[in-house]
Chain A
Amino acid sequence: MNLNQGLRTLLRGLGGVAVLCLLIQLLAVIGPARWEIPNLRQLADEVYHFVMSDPHFVGALLHTMKTVVLSLLVALVAGVVIGIPLGLSSVLYRTLTLPVELLRPVPAIALIPVMILALGQGQSMEVAVTALAAWWPILFNALYGARGVEPLTLQTARVFGLGRRQTTLRVVLPATLPMIVTGLRVAAPLALIVAVGAEYLATAGQGLGGVLIQATASGNLQVLWAAAVVTGLLGLVIGALVWVVGRVVCPWSTEW
C-alpha cells in the first residue's frame, strides 16, 4: 500500500468516526427521551467524571485488565500444552474427541455460579471462569494447527534426526503459531465479556463489573452509557494488545 492510498484509507476511517459521532448526537436529540442517550459533550463529561472523580475507577479498570491478561495467559498455556499433543497424536485425538465435544457446549457464563461457590468471590474465581471461556478457541486452533503441519517438514525434521521434543518445539510450534495467535484474537473479546460478567455476578464490587453494578443500582442511564463507552475502549485496548503480541510473535502470519 503506498502512502497516498494509506492516507486516503485513514481519512475515510476518520470520516466514518465523524459520521458515528454525528449519529450519536442526532440520537441524543431525536432519540426517545426515555433512553436518555447523552450527546457527545455530556458523554465526554460523564466519561471524564467517571475516570477522574472516582478514585476506585482506575483500580477497577486495572483489576479487570489484570483478570483478562492473566486468564488469557492461563488459557494460552493450557490450550497449547493440551492442543498440540492432541493434534499430533491420532490416538489421543480419537479417544479425547468425544469427551471434549461433550464438555465444549457448556457456556462459561453458566459456570460462574458454580465457580463462585467453589472459589469464592475473589480474583481467582474470575480468572478461572475467564480462562475456561478463553480456553476453547485457543485449544481448537492449536489442535488444528498442529494437525495441519506440512508432513514434509515433519519428515525433514526426522531426516535431520530431531527427537520428538525438538520436533515439537522447533518445527510444530512455529508452524502452529499463526493459528494459535488467531485463537488468541478470538479469545480476547470473549475473555473481556466473561471477566466483566463474573465481576458483575460476584457482587463483591471489583473491577468494571463492580462499576456496572453501582451504576445499575443508581439507575442513572447516563452513567451506564459512559460505562459502556469505557468498557468499549478497554476492549479496543485489549484487542490492540493482542494484535501487537501477534505481530511480534509471528510477523509472518497473514491472518489479519
Chain B
Amino acid sequence: MTTYRVAGKGRVDTGQPVTFTFDGKRFEGCAGDTVASALLANGVHLMGRSFKYHRPRGPVTAGSEEPNALIGTRRGAGQFEPNTRATVQEIWDGLETTSQNKFPNLKFDIGAINDFAYMLFSAGFYYKTFMWPKNFWHKVYEPFIRKAAGLGVSPTEEDPDTYASRNLHCDVLIVGAGPTGLAAARAAAVGGVNVVLIDENVECGGTLLSKPNAEINGMPSWDWLAAELVSLRSLGVKIMTRTTAIGYYHQNMIGMVEKLTDHLSDLPKDTPRERMWHVRAKQVILAQGALEKPLVFHGNDRPGVMLAGSAQTYLNRYGVLVGKRPVIITSHDSAWDAAFDLADAGADVRAIVDTRETVDEELQSQARMRGIGMKLSHTVTATSGRLRVSSIRVNPIDDGKAGDGLIIPCDALLMSGGWTPSLHLFSHTKGSLTWNEDQTTFLPKDTPEDCTIAGASRGLWGIENVLIDGASAGVKVAMALGKESQTRQHKVTHDRIGSGVSQIELPTDKSSGKAKAFVDFQNDVTAKDLRLAVREGMRSIEHVKRYTTNGMATDQGKMSNINGLNIAADALNKPQPQVGLTTFRPPYTPTTFGAFAGYHRGDHFEITRKTQIDSWAQENGAVFEPVGQWRRARYFPKRGEDMDTAVGRECRTTRAHVGIFDASTLGKIEVVGPDAVEFMNRMYTNPWTKLAAGRCRYGLLLGDDGFIRDDGVIGRMSQDCFHVTTTTGGAARVMNMMEDYLQTEWPDLDVWLTSTTENWSTIALNGPKAAKLLAPLVDGVELTEDAFPHMSCAECTVAGMPARLFRVSFTGEIGFEINVPAPMGRKLWETLWQAGQEHGITAYGTETMHVLRAEKGYIIVGQDTDGTVTPYDAGMGWAVAKTKKDFVGMRGLMRPDLVASNRRHLVGLLTEDGTKLEEGAQIVFDPHQAIPMTMVGHVTSSYHSDAMGRPIALALVECGQNRMGETVYIPMPDRTIAAKITSTVFFDPSNSRVKIPSGEML
C-alpha cells in the first residue's frame, strides 16, 4: 500500500505504531493520529455516505466541524457509539471503527440510487408528496422514509462506563488555546487572577499546530508554544485539553465536557469516560478562532475534496499528505500557503485555481518559484472519480460565466472560501452580531454577559494580530477584576495574514438546475435546494434552513450556515442581515448523554430518602414502595403471605391490640415567633388563636384558588411555637408556599420557618393497647384521658429520649405519635417493639395505614382530593374558621362555582354485590346511556376492609352528600357495578375508640 506519511513532518509519534480496524480491515497509524489522519496516511479518503443520496464521502476537515467522515466506534460490549467524527477520534490499539449509512458496503451502496432521483428529492419534497392514497402514509411511506433516514445505528446495550460531574469557580475562563487564548491567559494570569484555559483538542496551540514555519518573538512557533505552556503552568493557569465548552448559560455559567478515556487503549480503573464541568467564571474570554468555508461547486463533495487549511493541518500536525497530486481551488490567500506547504513536503501541486482576477504578487512569485501552475479568474465546474476524485474540470470565468473547460487529473482537490469567525458560544449568550460587508461575515457586537471575544473569533487574522488582541483581552479582564496587567510585545515573522473574497456558488458551465453543488454535505443540501426554497417563498434564513435542512446536520451548520446565508441572500436579492442568521444552539459539538446524566444513574438517578427505621423494615422483610423520593415500607408479609393477607392481619392486629408505624417521612415545619399564631391563622383555614399550648389540631391548607393543597396535625408546643406536620409528598411544597407568603405578602410578620422533616424520627402507635404499652416508658406526662386527652401534645422523654409526644389518631384507635431526634429513631422503635411483644404488637406499612384511615373516612390529600376539591366537598367544612378575617384561599372559596349546588362531594361507596371497586373507576347515574357518557365522579380509594368484613370505597360524586342511600353505577369494560352512597365513616362512627377508657390502669 502506498503511504502518504511524510517523514519529518507532524507531531505524531512515528516510532509508536497503533493498529485499529475500519470496516473489519486492519490499519496502522501512529500514536497521536486521529482515525481520519491514520486512514488518510493509508490513502483512504472514502469514510462514509451522505444522508439523503448516499453519496460517497471523505473528510472535508481535520476537526470537530467535520460533516462527512462519521463512523461507528467500538471498544467492547456496550461500548459502541455511532456518528463519531473520524477527524477527532484518536486511535488506540484495538479500536474498532465502522462506516455508516451504507448497504451492502461502503464502496457499493444500494441507497445511492436516490442520487439518480435527485430532481425528485429536491428541497421540501416530503411536504408535497406521500399523501395519496391516504392510508399509505402510515403503512408504506413513513416506514420507508424512516428507514432511509438516520446515519449510524443506535447502541443497543447498556453502557458500562461511568460519567462524572464537577463544579469549578474561577476568575477567568478562556475558551480556546490557540494564539489568542494563550496570549489572553498569560496577560490575565500575570495580573494575578486565577485562570482556566481550555481547548477541545488533544493539545493546546490551535492554529499554531498547523503553522510550524511561523516564528514568534524569534522562536519557531512550536518552541514558543512549548515554552509558553510551561510558563503559563508556572503562573498557575489551569490548562484543560480534550475539553469542550458546550454551552454558555446565564450569569457566566459555562458547561464543559472533558473526555477522559476515549483515546486510551487500556482503561485505568475507576476513571469516568467523560466529566461534565459546571463552571462559574467571573469573566469569560472566547477565543474559539475561525472556521474555513468550503466552496460551492458541482461535485464539491467527492472524497478527496477537502478544505485547504485542513490539508495543511493533516500535513503539519499529522505528517500526512492528503494527496500527492493536489489541485487548489480558492478565493482566499490562505489556500496558497497550504499549497506551498504541500509542495514543500513533496506533493506535486498540479495547479492553484483562484476565482479572483488578481492575487498578491508575492504569492504568485512563490508559486512560480515552486513551479506551480496558476489559473486566476478560473473556476472548477466538475469533479470525477467514483470513490475518490481523479480529475477536475477547470474553466476560465468571463463576466461571471464559465468558459471552455480543461481537465486536470489529480488525487485531491483543496478548497478555501475564506474564514468565518466562530460565534457559537457568543451567540448562546444572546449576544448581538453585526454584519461586516468587507469580510462578508457576521462579527460579534454586544453581549449581556461578562464576556470578551477576541482574536479570529472577532474577525482578526494573522498570528501577530491575534496575539496582540488576546493579550489585550487578558489585560481587560484582569482590570475588570481589579488587577493590573500589561500586554507584551509580540513579533511574528512568516505570518501570513491573507485576504480573500467571499463566493456564492462558483460559476458553472452546467445548466444551473443540474449542478450538484453541495452546501450542507451531510444532509445533501445543494445551492439549488436553497434557491428553490427561496423561490417557494421561504424568505428568512430560518425558513430556508428548515425547508432544506441546511445547517441541521451534526456539524450544526459549521460548514454550511454562512454559505447557505450568502446564497439565500443572493437569491432574495437582499443584504444578509435582512435574511438573518440562524441561532446557534448548544451544545457546541454533539455531547454524550451520559455526560449530562453524570452520576445520576441507577440508584443515584435521584437520591432515595430513607428513614432511620428503614433498616429495621428491611431486616424484617418489608415490601417497599416509592413515595416521592422516599421509600416507605408498604407492608410486612410473614412467610407465605401476599399483600392482601398481610394487610388484613396488620389491620386486625392493630384494631385488636396495637400497631407500630414509621411516620418519619411526614413533612415537619417549625413555625416560631411572636407572630406565629397570626401566621398560622393566615395560612391555614382553621382558627389557631384559642388553641392552647399543649394541644393540637387538624389543619387544612388551601391554595389561593380555594382548593385543598395539604393537611396535617399541628401542635402548639408553646405560645409562639407550632409544630406543623404536612403530607410526605407536600413537605417541600408547603414550606415553599409558606416562605413565599412570608417573604412577599407578609414581610411584616415576625416569624421564622424551619424545615425539620429530617430532624425528627416519628413513630405512630395505634390500637387499644397503645397507651398501656407507652405509659411505662414516658416521663413527664401522665397518659390518662384527663391528663393527656386526645389531641394533646407535650415535650417529655420516652424511653429516656427527649421527645415530642402527640396524642393523635389516623386510625380511629387510641393513637400516639412520638417524635424523637432522628438518630434515635431506630432505638425507640426497637424499645417499643420489645415492649409491645406482650401486647401482641404488629408493625404495619403504608397500605394498612391507608385501609385503617379509609375505614374512618380520613382523606389522603392527592388521592381523595385532586386540586379541585374544597373543604366543603370533602365534608370538612368544620375545619374552615367562620369568623377569621382572612386566610389563604378564602376569596377563592367564595367563587360562584365553588359554592355551586352541583359540586362533587366525597362520600363512601358500598358495592351491592360486594366486589371491590377499582380506584380511578368512573361513576354514572344512568348506566344505560350511550358513549360518551355523562360521568358524575370517580372512585378515589378502595380497599378490602377487615373490620367491616367487606370492600369499602371513597368516591367523589356529584351532590353526593345529598344523595345518601342512592345507587350509582360504575361501568367497567366487562360489566356495570352498582354501589350505594354512604357516609365516609365506615367504622366506629361515634369515635368511641379513641378514648382511653376511664379508670383503666396504666
Chain B binds chain A:
no
